[in-house]
Amino acid sequence: MTTGHALPPGGRVAADRAPSASPLPRALTRRLWPDGTVLERQLPFAVLSAAAAVTLGLPGIDVTAVAPVVVAGGLTLASLVLALVVPWRRLRPSAQDVLPLLQIAAVAALRMGTGGLGSPYAALVYLPVITLSARPGRARILVATLATAATVAASSWLDPTVDQDVVVLRSFLVAASALAISVFVHETTERQRAYSARLEGLQVAQTELLERTRESAVALQRVASTRRAARDQLISVIDSATEQAIIATDREGRVEVFNPGAERLLGYAQGEVVGRMHLTDFHVRAEIDERRPRHRGSPPRGGSDALAEQRELVEALVAPARAGSADVRDWTYVRGDRTTVIVRLAVTRRVEPDGSVSGYVVVATDVTAEREAALLKDQFLGLVSHELRTPLTSVLGYLELLLDGTEPLSDEQREYLQVVERNARRQLRLVSDLLLSAQVDAGTFAITPQPTDLGAVARASLASAAPAAEQAGVTLVPAVQDAPLVADPVRLGQAVDNLVSNAVKFTPPGGSVRVEVAPLPDGGALLAVSDTGIGIPADELGDLTARFFRASNAARRAIPGVGLGLSITKAVIDAHGGELDVQSTVGEGTTFVVSLPAVPPGDR
């Protein structure tokens, strides 16, 4: 008999292989269990009924009525035929209850024709009772019990001499036995059914888990292969980089990767470094101490203090990279032979998928030759500036003597001498700018602060720029207030002169230059120089204060200049602790805004 939740083939296999929770014989359990076909579950009763039919002719078997015996055989045969031909899967599961009820009726008829209450075939009723009660639903227990009691009562119908009290008593006893058997069989099979369902669920889950595991294994293998290929490619790239030293460390700074470029730069073999040395072992200790967060220069002590010291040194090296920002700066490396080399160091962090820092990657480029060349260039620039400045000063002195002397000069001679003087002063300004630029790069640039009025400095610059502005057809618009502060008036005058002269130079005829000075509430001062000139391309604003940089539109128009004015202006403003901001639109004009504190940082 099928049930309302018949198991799939996988579930049936699992149930057959599982240890039985029922004490019933396994062969009988197979017939009662829903795994068998409807016909298979009717065969045990049919076989026993056939055996009973064979025994009808034995001595001691009293066939009191033939008709009931024939009816019993017909009902048994009918249950077999129905089990075979009826499409039970298309019907409701409760329809199969007809078959055991037919068998119970067959037992009642057989008892009726073989002695009634004394029939030896009374026990046959328990097999359809077991079959019926093994099906889901406790209502079948009641049906089986009542049907069994009915077989006892029906067996006395053909014998009116039977004591009805005996019939009632026997019906009760048989019904009680059927009830006990039904309850036992029903609960046992329910547990077996639940066990099988759980087993089926586990098997389905296991199958799904195996499938997911198989898919995950394939995906993992694919990822592992990709990562291996990427790692091999990365190692190949790292090993082929001979001009850069690439060093990878763990989070404690211990070296894990040391490429051939690092071997060439530092003079160590890979085996001497990997797993044995820390990143800090290649650095000059004094440079690290300058950037340490706590007391600097303290010698390391033993034990855990030495480890803490090592961690602190590594932290000083990688602090910007640990915070997630790019860290590119110059350091001094100590090679294996104890010589030093200047390197440009780029430090980045290695991040795990969970976001934790697993280590650092350091790319070092030897810039010793570059730095030495820059130093030589600055030294040469300073030397040339100094050697040019002295004779130019002398030339200007003699020109002044000639122009102011007692000897009369013709107009033509005086004009020639004035041309020489203008060019000599222009050259002297250029040499002064070169010398000042060299001082800035060498770190020797300094200011001499004293009480100064920025308004007075701006007025002087406007007066100096007036002839050039008039000649260029540019209108100067002063909006200058007194703004007292502590500053270097000479250096500040250079900065203002550069801003005003640039504004005049890059403004076409008919344009204007506005110079505004105003005091700030905190005691500082604000200077703004605005023009209506050619403007500066937006992508070039960040390079304006670089030495020798010139805007592309200025170069195309062949406007004279060497690109030193704004770099010097920026150096002067920085030395005063101020800020320089620029806003510009091509074709409309440019505005430089300078904000200065009341007192330079060094004098506070």
DSSP state of 597: -
Instruction: Specify the pLDDT at position 344.
Output: 84
Instruction: Specify the pLDDT at position 563.
Output: 61
**Between 1 and 452, the higher pLDDT residue:** 452
Mean pLDDT of all residues belonging to the chain = 78
R_g of the chain computed on alpha carbons: 55
Alpha-carbon gap, residue 407 to 572, rounded angstroms: 43
Buried b (16+ CB within 10 A) or exposed e, 476-503: beeebeebebbbbbebbbbbbbbbbbbb
Q: What percent of the chain has pLDDT over 90?
A: 13
Pairing of strands 512-519, 475-480: parallel
* Residue 518, pLDDT above cutoff 60: yes
Instruction: Specify the pLDDT at position 501.
Output: 87
Q: Which amino acid type is present at position 307? A: L
Least confident of 11-20, 21-30, 233-242, 510-519: 11-20
Instruction: Specify the pLDDT at position 517.
Output: 94
> What would the mean pLDDT of 65-77 be, rounded to a whole number?
86
Alpha-carbon gap, residue 590 to 39, rounded angstroms: 102
Instruction: Specify the pLDDT at position 527.
Output: 94
Instruction: Specify the pLDDT at position 1.
Output: 35
3-class secondary-structure state, position 364: strand
pLDDT band at 8 (very low <50, low <70, confident <90, very high): very low
Pairing of strands 512-519, 525-531: antiparallel
Most confident of 168-177, 321-330, 496-505: 496-505
DSSP state of 36: S
Measured in Å, how far apart are the chain's first and last C-alpha atoms?
102
Rounded to 5°, the CA angle 389-393-396 comes to: 140
List the structure tokens of 58: 């034995």
Given a contact cutoff of 8 angstroms between Cβ atoms, the answer to whether 268 and 276 are in contact is no
Instruction: Specify the pLDDT at position 14.
Output: 36
Alpha-carbon gap, residue 252 to 136, rounded angstroms: 68
> What would the mean pLDDT of 342-357 be, rounded to a whole number?
80
Instruction: Specify the pLDDT at position 297.
Output: 45
pLDDT band at 17 (very low <50, low <70, confident <90, very high): very low
Given a contact cutoff of 8 angstroms between Cβ atoms, the answer to whether 35 and 16 are in contact is yes
* Three-class DSSP labels, 385-400: HHHHHHHHHHHHHHHH
**Between 600 and 594, the higher pLDDT residue:** 594
Instruction: Specify the pLDDT at position 594.
Output: 92
Most confident of 8-22, 87-101, 544-558: 87-101
* Residue 26, pLDDT above cutoff 60: no
**Between 548 and 181, the higher pLDDT residue:** 181
> What would the mean pLDDT of 451-468 be, rounded to a whole number?
90
CA atoms within 13 A on the CB side of 478: 15
Alpha-carbon gap, residue 185 to 23, rounded angstroms: 10
Most confident of 114-118, 434-438, 515-519, 569-573: 515-519
* Residue 44, pLDDT above cutoff 80: yes
DSSP state of 61: -
Least confident of 35-44, 290-299, 390-399, 519-528: 290-299
Least confident of 271-280, 338-347, 432-441, 515-524: 432-441
**Domain spanning 372-442: CATH 1.10.287:** yes
Alpha-carbon gap, residue 2 to 131, rounded angstroms: 12
Q: Which amino acid type is present at position 179? A: L
* Residue 208, pLDDT above cutoff 50: yes
Contacts of 472 (CB under 8 A, 6+ apart): 504, 505, 507, 509
Given a contact cutoff of 8 angstroms between Cβ atoms, the answer to whether 427 and 392 are in contact is yes
Contacts of 597 (CB under 8 A, 6+ apart): 485, 522, 523, 524, 576, 577, 578
List the structure tokens of 433: 């700018």
Question: Domain 241-294+309-366 - what CATH class?
Answer: alpha beta
List, as one string, the DSSP characters of 196-223: HHHHHHHHHHHHHHHHHHHHHHHHHHHH
Instruction: Specify the pLDDT at position 117.
Output: 74
Given a contact cutoff of 8 angstroms between Cβ atoms, the answer to whether 112 and 68 are in contact is yes
Least confident of 37-51, 230-244, 458-472, 484-498: 230-244
Contacts of 127 (CB under 8 A, 6+ apart): 44, 45, 48, 103
Alpha-carbon gap, residue 254 to 275, rounded angstroms: 6
> What are 559-599's pLDDT values in tens digits?
665 567 788 888 888 888 899 999 988 888 999 999 999 88
Strand ranges in 507-572 using DSSP code E only, listed in sequence order:
512-519, 525-531
pLDDT band at 25 (very low <50, low <70, confident <90, very high): very low
> What would the mean pLDDT of 14-30 be, rounded to a whole number?
41
Single pTM value for the model: 0.41
* Residue 187, pLDDT above cutoff 80: yes
pLDDT band at 439 (very low <50, low <70, confident <90, very high): low
Contacts of 43 (CB under 8 A, 6+ apart): 31, 80
List the structure tokens of 436: 């000042």
Instruction: Specify the pLDDT at position 512.
Output: 93
**63: phi then psi, degrees, rounded to nearest 5:** -90, 100
Instruction: Specify the pLDDT at position 555.
Output: 59
**CATH number assigned to the domain covering 450-603:** 3.30.565.10
Instruction: Specify the pLDDT at position 7.
Output: 35
Q: What stretch(es) of the chain map to CATH 1.10.287?
A: 372-442
Alpha-carbon gap, residue 548 to 563, rounded angstroms: 4
Instruction: Specify the pLDDT at position 451.
Output: 92
* Residue 410, pLDDT above cutoff 90: no
* Residue 298, pLDDT above cutoff 60: no
Q: Which of 61, 58, 157, 60 is nearest to 116 (CA)?
A: 157
Most confident of 78-92, 439-453, 517-531: 517-531
Pairing of strands 450-453, 484-487: antiparallel
Alpha-carbon gap, residue 436 to 440, rounded angstroms: 6
Q: What is the dihedral of CA 134, 135, 139, 142, to 10 degrees?
A: -30
pLDDT band at 434 (very low <50, low <70, confident <90, very high): low
